[in-house]
Amino acid sequence: MQHKDIIIQFEHQSKVVNFAELCYKTNRHHYKKRGQNDPRKIKLDIYHGKIAEYAVWDHYKTVQGVECQEPDLAVFDPNRKSYEADLKLKKTNGKDSLLHIKSQTVEQSEKFGLSWMFQKNDPLVFRPLLNDFVVLTVFLSMNLVRVYKPLNARHLLQRYQKPKVAKIQDTKLALYATNIDDLWG
């Protein structure tokens, strides 16, 4: 499993804490409809997702010197839910790679196995574009994120499974590391 551990800058952590708070306030009724009632967990999930984007962005911009769009901190209305890529990576051939970032914490991996959740109705899991890539990340600590090598989303099509947690099986799919070992080389 090829990966790079990225230290998150304090400046990005501060921005994302504020972003998570605003997202929660704007969308709390939407989370409640999905059965999510714990404000602390919701904010932490938002934080992890956005910090993972910063880790990937920093990896490409700083480590690899590639032009990559900075993570978006706009707070959207829940009715504007989008499955667009989290980041766009500029390629020299003029075709952007669309990066879909997924995160998991070490604690979650110890409980459920190294895995990442996807919405069942996300086109990424049943009809990805040629330039869609999935970048998997794991939070090692609040300021250290492991970023794995991007995987072409088309190579993942037959590898999703039901999540171990029964209450989310109707709306989510899981991608378990054990099902993609051969792709990480």
pLDDT digits (tens, 9 = 90+) for 142-160: 889 999 999 999 999 999 9
pLDDT 10s digits, 74-98: 887 766 667 899 999 987 677 889 9
Check residue 90 and report its DSSP letter. Answer: -
Count CA atoms closer than 13 A to 119's CA, side-chain side. 10
Residue 35 reports pLDDT greater than 80: no
Q: Span 60-80, mean pLDDT?
A: 83
When the pLDDT of each residue in the chain is averaged and rounded to a whole number, the result is: 90
By mean pLDDT, which of 16-20, 76-80, 93-97, 168-172 is the weakest? Answer: 76-80
Q: What percentage of the chain carries pLDDT values higher than 90?
A: 68
Q: Is 88 helix (H, G, I), strand (E, B) or coil?
A: strand
| Bridge partner residues of 139 (DSSP) | 105, 145
Amino acid 143 reads N
How confident is the model at residue 88, as a pLDDT? 94
| Residue of higher predicted confidence among 7 and 81 | 7
What pLDDT shows up at residue 66?
Answer: 85
Does 109 score more than 90 pLDDT?
yes
- Whether residue 163 has pLDDT greater than 70: yes
Taking residues 115-128, report their average pLDDT. 96
> Which stretches of the chain are assigned E, i.e. beta strand?
3-7, 87-89, 97-105, 115-119, 132-141, 144-148, 151-152, 172-176
Is residue 133's pLDDT more than 90?
Answer: yes
User: Do 127 and 141 form a contact (C-beta atoms < 8 A)?
Assistant: no
